Amino acid sequence: MQVALIIPEAEWRALVADVEQLKQEAERIKAATPAALPDDILTVPQAAAALGLTPEAVRRARREGRLKGIRRNEKEWGFYRSVIEQFPRRYHRQGR
């Protein structure tokens, strides 16, 4: 069963104009906002190289809670690139 709604033409045109205005505003916001790039996941050796630390130091920092890691599988941990980039600033170390 379909439902039909009859509205005056002036109201219809106002609604269509509002929808067009909303579309333009959405496109303006989308153009002004930079597209979020997917965050890379680095392995322990890659994270260690980016931080200038040894892989064991990265593992120790993760175990102590100073560096947030994610489980890649049963044995391996990974680290988001954004977390690695924030680590030196957080702990007042000089980055590369």
Q: At 90, is the pLDDT very low, low, confident or very high (cuts 50, 70, 90)? A: low
Report whether pLDDT(91) > 90.
no
Element (H, E) at 71: strand 70-71
What is the distance between the alpha carbons of residues 65 and 63, in angstroms, rounded to a whole number?
5
Q: Indicate yes or no: pTM above 0.75.
A: no
Q: Which residue has the higher pLDDT, 65 or 38?
A: 65
Query: How many C-beta neighbours within 10 Å does residue 50 have?
Result: 18
Assess contact for 88 and 73: CB atoms under 8 A: no
The tokens 């989308």 sit on which residue?
Answer: 30
pLDDT tens, position by position, 9-50: 999 999 999 999 999 999 998 888 776 667 899 999 999 999
Element (H, E) at 64: none
